[in-house]
A and B are shown apart, each in its own frame.
Chain A
Amino acid sequence: MKKKLDIPTICLFLTTMMVLGFILTPIWITVAVSFNQGNYIVFPPNGFSIRWYLEFFNDYTWMMAFKNSLMVAAATMVISTTAGVLSALGYMRRKFPGRNLINLIIMMPFLVPGIIIGICLLIFLHKIHLSGTYVAVVIGHCLWGIPTVFLLVQAVLSGYDFTIEDAARDLGAGPIKTFFTITLPCIKTGIFTAMIFSFITSFGEFNIALFVTDPTTTTMPVQIWNSLKYEVTPIVAAVSTVMIFFTLVGIGAGAKFIGVNKITQM
């Protein structure tokens, strides 16, 4: 479409900027106040310092939560990527009876509010004596990680020609050999991206984690929630900025691997 500068276009442009501004402001402002010098959050910040980062890195509770989050996210990443990539490959390869049911089963946890998963797992894990363990959190996060990977790899596979697998089989490669010499190399960037985004999903997840963690397995978002319940301290800004940094690096890598388009297609 030709770009024309008329009144409707300008209105559309302004609305877009407004909405994007609305959803981006909380992010950049958090980054900005994290370098604040004073004891209270003020905007504009009074002076530049990294004291809140130092406090974060020297605080036992925060570092514990940081470590927990990293561990849980890493485990979630491995499990969700494996399960999600396999499902997406099976799902996209051909039409079969029950295809919609499979989609519904895998996507359901992602589509219902997170608190429901949290409550269910709270009750269920209590029954099987797993509550408060790392396993509990990882399980909860996989319920979100798998659909994330499933959707993302589907977007990646929409440009993938499955007949090359037929060709490999035809030339003498068994199913396992075909998977490792043909399928995997062709979609490896997609899989890396899926790993990154399942990591980010788990790293920032709150609604499930709140119900399945105990003080020893608290993750960062839960710790932020705990501290916000009492007061709004600038240390949270520093913690948040660290998490934003993780997200930005992840998105940057994903965009480089498979392009912005594929990421938004999911």
Chain B
Amino acid sequence: MYDVELVDLNKNYRNVIAVEDVSLEIKKGEFLFLLGPSGCGKTTTLRMIGGMEEPTSGTIRIQGKDVSNVPPEKRDTSTVFQNWALFPHKTISENVAFGLVLRKVPKATINEEVKKYLAMVGLDGFGDRYPNQLSGGQKQRVALARALIVNPAVLLLDEPLSALDLKLRHQMRFEIKRIQKNLKVTTIFVTHDQTEALAMADRIVIMNKGRIEQIGTPTDVYFNPKTKFVSDFIGEMNFMPGKLIKKENSTAKVALSDFCHLDIPCADTSRLTQDVMVGIRPEKLFVKSDPTPSNAGILLPVTMEEVTFLGQLLRFHVTFEGKMMIVDDFGGINRALRYQKLETAYIEINPKDCLLIPEQGDVL
């Protein structure tokens, strides 16, 4: 049995469709991410699970029970809100204790639990302060403790880190992941930050325009994107227009230019038409100064436009037949700097790293 099941979930606001036909099952203890650009319906989906919004149609089941029209106070979910939503007129202890007080837990137990959870999020001794006396990261921890203390079946996190600065965000990622693993609580995390999702998730649900584009593990969605949107949204991707020359059993011959042909592996060639897109990640391309391919690669002659130093890598902006492409080089600064002075160079493509994207439909 799944902890959370969504069946054909829809949400319309007057004429605007916010969420369309979302179906999803989440296993117990899973750390699931809802990822997508702003306005893709991920927060609305989360709020429907939490009961803050009512679905227009569809069913939500939590631990097998249909809760579609159950108000939030009667659902076994806890939410950490984007701006944390701490009660400004209550102390930190009172904030954290709120859910237990409502559940009529004895006072002594409450005090004990509050202490325990404050310690767990690293805030012992802060109990008597008020929310406006805390920093953003501390408020974040309080919100987490407040949500976890009621021992919810499902923990919902709505972009909890987006208001924090970069360093703190990275630190909190680690801590949330640690706490989640310790408590084994089923967790749904909404974010628009793909690195957050890739770093923390068991599974990622990528949403766009109210629909689910792909569900998969971080490596899955990165290396095997199912749609053009996913391939573009996760990581970076160079897109090159090509012409289909020949279909074979499991490969397709694609021409990027008159003299540059790629044999791209492809399981199903039946949907391919004349015009295709070839996608390749910047780190899968290599810059070379001389036209000798190292292994199975194909060489493209390019013009060097710009080289940017990004710390751990060097980023080349090159043009191939007037089309801009990005190449990332991790091969050490000394090796890479050599190419900086070049005006023309070659980039090496391995056809195995290429994705074939037809005019219409999903990635093959």
Interface residue? A174 (CB, 8 A): yes
Instruction: Report how far A161 CA is from B84 CA in the complex, Å.
Output: 10
Instruction: Report Cα–Cα, A206/B217, bound state, in Å.
Output: 72
Take A163-B81, A177-B102 as given contacts and tell me if A169 and B87 are in contact as well, using a CB distance cutoff of 8 Å.
no
The answer, yes or no, to whether B51 is at the interface (CB within 8 Å) is yes
Given contacts A171-B146, A172-B103, A172-B150, contact A166 B89 (CB under 8 A): no
Give, as a whole number of angstroms, the nearest-CB distance from A99 to chain B: 12
Name the CB-closest residue of B to A172.
B102
Size category of the binding interface on chain A: 10 to 19
| Structural contact, B85 and A171, CB atoms closer than 8 A | no
Are A171 and B81 in contact (CB-based, < 8 A)?
Answer: no
Q: Given A171-B98, A171-B150, are A166 and B86 neighbors across the interface (CB < 8 Å)? A: no
Q: Which one of B14, B72, B147 lies within 8 Å of A166 (CB-CB)?
A: B72
Is A90 part of the binding interface, using a Cβ–Cβ cutoff of 8 Å? no
Give the docked Cα–Cα distance between A168 and B78 (Å).
10
The answer to whether A171 and B50 touch across the interface, beta carbons within 8 angstroms, is: no
Q: Known: A172-B150, A173-B73. Is A167-B51 also a contact (CB below 8 A)?
A: no
B83 contacts which chain A residues (CB < 8 A)? Answer: 161, 163
A181 to B103, CA, bound (A): 15
What is the CB-to-nearest-CB distance from A156 to chain B, in angstroms, rounded to a whole number?
Answer: 13
A169 touches B85 (CB 8 A): no
Other-chain residue from B51, B89, B147, B150 in contact with A169 (beta carbon distance below 8 A): B51
Residues of the B chain whose Cβ atoms lie less than 8 Å from the Cβ of A169? 51-52, 71-73
Given contacts A170-B79, A171-B78, contact A164 B71 (CB under 8 A): no
Nearest neighbor of A174 in chain B, beta-carbon distance: B73
Task: Give B60 Cβ to nearest chain A Cβ, in Å.
Answer: 15
Residues of chain B within 8 A of A170, CB atoms compared = 50-52, 72-73, 77-79, 147
Please determine whether B102 and A173 come into contact, CB atoms closer than 8 angstroms.
yes
Determine if A21 is an interface residue (Cβ-Cβ < 8 Å).
no
B103 to chain A, nearest CB (A): 6
Nearest chain A CB to B259's CB is how many angstroms away?
A: 58
The answer, yes or no, to whether B88 is at the interface (CB within 8 Å) is yes
Contact with B along A145-166 (1 / 0, CB 8 A): 0000000000000000101101
Instruction: Please state if A168 and B87 are interface contacts (CB–CB under 8 Å).
Output: yes
Binary A-proximity of B74-116 (CB < 8 A = 1, otherwise 0): 0001110111011111000000001100110000000000000
Q: How far apart sit A170 and B87, CA to CA, in the bound complex (Å)?
A: 13
**What does the 1/0 interface line of B27-69 toward A look like (CB < 8 Å)?**
0000000000000000000000011100000000000000000
Of all chain B residues, the one with the shortest Cβ separation from A160 is B88
List the B residue with the shortest CB-CB distance to A187. Answer: B89
Q: Is the interface of A mostly helix, strand, loop or mixed?
A: helix
Judge whether A186 is part of the interface by a CB distance below 8 angstroms: yes
A170 to chain B minimum Cβ distance, whole angstroms, is 5
Query: How many Å lie between the Cα of A175 and that of B71 in the bound state?
Result: 9
B14, B86, B89 — most chain A CB neighbours (10 Å)? B89
Chain B positions within 8 Å of A97 at CB level? 14
A113 at the interface (CB under 8 A from B): no
State whether B103 touches A186 (Cβ < 8 A). no
Kindly report which residue of chain A lies nearest to residue B99, judged by CB atoms: A171
Let me know if B150 and A166 touch, CB within 8 A: no
Enumerate chain B residues within 8 angstroms of A166, measured Cβ to Cβ. Answer: 52, 72, 79, 81, 85
**Interface assignment of A70: CB less than 8 Å from any CB of chain B:** no
Whether A172 lies near B81 (C-beta < 8 A) is no
* Residues 161-199 of A contacting B (Cβ, < 8 Å): 161, 163-164, 166-175, 177, 182, 185-186
- Using Cβ atoms and an 8 Å threshold, which residues of chain B touch A163? 81-83, 85
Partner of A172, one of B52, B82, B86, B99: B99
Residue of A with least CB distance to B75: A170
0/1 string, B326-359, CB within 8 A of A gives 1: 0000000000000000000000000000000000
Taken together as a complex, chains A and B put the C-alpha atoms of A173 and B97 apart, in Å, by 13
Q: Which residues of B contact A171 (CB under 8 A)?
A: 73, 78, 98-99, 102, 146-147, 150
In angstroms, how far is the closest chain B Cβ from the Cβ of A259? Answer: 16
Our pick among A164, A172, A173, A174 for the contact of B88 (Cβ within 8 Å) is A164
The reply to whether B88 and A186 form a contact with Cβ atoms under 8 Å apart is yes
Bound Cα distance from A163 to B85, whole angstroms: 6
Task: Given the known inter-chain contacts A172-B150, A174-B73, please indicate yes or no for A167 contacting B103, CB distance below 8 A.
Answer: no
Q: Which residue of A lies closest to B95 (CB)?
A: A167
For A164, list chain B residues within 8 Å (CB).
85-88
Could you tell me the distance between the alpha carbons of A166 and B72 in the complex, rounded to whole angstroms?
A: 8
Given contacts A172-B73, A172-B150, contact A167 B102 (CB under 8 A): no
Residues of A within 8 A of B150 (CB): 171-172
The residue of chain B having its C-beta at the shortest distance from the C-beta of A178 within the complex is B73
Interchain CB contact under 8 A, A167 and B85: yes
How many angstroms from the CA of A172 to the CA of B149 in the assembled complex?
12
User: Which B residues fall within an 8 A CB radius of A?
Assistant: 14, 50-52, 71-73, 77-79, 81-83, 85-89, 98-99, 102-103, 146-147, 150
Query: Given contacts A169-B73, A171-B98, A185-B89, could you give 20 more A-B pairs where the C-beta distance is less than 8 Å?
Result: A163-B82, A163-B83, A164-B88, A166-B79, A166-B81, A166-B85, A167-B79, A167-B146, A168-B98, A169-B51, A169-B52, A170-B77, A170-B78, A170-B79, A172-B73, A172-B103, A173-B102, A174-B71, A175-B71, A186-B89
Can you name 15 A-B residue pairings with CB atoms under 8 Å?
A97-B14, A163-B81, A164-B85, A164-B86, A166-B52, A167-B81, A167-B86, A169-B71, A170-B72, A170-B147, A171-B102, A171-B150, A172-B103, A174-B73, A185-B89
- 5 pairs of A and B residues whose beta carbons are closest in the complex: A171-B99, A167-B85, A163-B85, A172-B102, A169-B72
